[in-house]
Amino acid sequence: MALIERGVRLGGKDVLEVGCGNGRLTLAYAGRARSVVAIEPNAAIVARARARARSARLRRVRFAARPAQTGIRGGPFDVVLFSYSLC
């Protein structure tokens, strides 16, 4: 997380995370962001991410099972984060 925040601050920001996987990275910053929409094409993995967010009592994060090709919508966002997903 510190690596990303060398380049951009996520605290207080509206963030779209593309390719959130199981939410490992998402949970590291979601408590400080104003809002997070995290998308991931694999519905089973999204379910795991949701469960982790619930366990962590994070309320400002919303996970959606959708691919980047059609999933980059909504907003506006302050940050769009491609976590291992542009490639």
Partner 1 sequence: MVDALRSAGRVLRSRGRIVDLRPANGYKPEIVIRRGPRRVEVGPIVRDPDPDVAAATRAVRQVVRAGEFAVVHAARPRWRSTYADLRAVENTLAESEHWHLPAATRRRIVREGRPGDAREMVGVLSLNVLRRR
Residue ranges binding partner 1 (CB under 8 A): 3-4, 6-8, 14, 16, 18, 21-22, 45, 68-69, 72-87
Least Cβ distance, residue 47 to partner 1 (angstroms): 14
6 or 57: whose CB is closer to partner 1? 6
User: Residue 79, class by beta-carbon neighbours within 10 Å (0-12 exposed, 13-18 middle, 19+ buried)?
Assistant: middle
For residue 1, the minimal CB distance to partner 1 (Å) is 10
Which among 2, 3, 18 is positioned nearest to 79, based on CA atoms?
Answer: 18
Start-to-end C-alpha separation, the chain:
19
Between 45 and 64, CB nearer to partner 1:
45
